[in-house]
Amino acid sequence: MEPVRTCVGCRVSDSRSALLRVVVGGPGALVPDLRRCLPGRGAWLHPTGDCFDLAVRRRAFGRALRVSAPLDTEAVAEWIATHEQTTNQPSPGNRP
């Protein structure tokens, strides 16, 4: 049985493999932890724009990571935008 984590955006529990781990990588900068092995506290997030927007609006990253300073979410936003674009494209066999 795979470990279960809770998305900081929508607050729904899901398997670890379905969520993106995010950590503080530099001075106030959030970075996606694609291999899930970077040191420090991690926040788990569904890799969708909706969950990301909810987490930013609710200021959930700061609470989950126990950081009181403002966080730069640009790297995570770019990764999610790129990831959503590549997963929403039709596969070569399904083109009209």
**Mean pLDDT in residue range 84-93:** 61
pLDDT in tens, 10-28: 999 999 999 999 999 988 8
Classify each residue of 16-36 as buried b or exposed e, where b means 16 or more C-beta atoms within 10 Å of its C-beta.
Answer: eeebbbbbbeeeeebbbbeee
Helical H segments across 1-96, by residue range: 49-57, 60-65, 74-88
User: For residue 66, how many C-alpha atoms fall within 13 Å in the half-sphere facing its CB?
Assistant: 3
- Closest by CA position to 73, among listed 51, 96, 95, 40: 51
Q: Which pLDDT value is given to residue 90?
A: 54
Whole-structure pTM value: 0.85
> Strand, coil or helix: what is 94?
helix
pLDDT in tens, 49-86: 999 999 999 999 999 999 999 999 999 999 999 988 77
The yes or no reply on domain 4-86 and CATH 3.30.1230.10 is yes
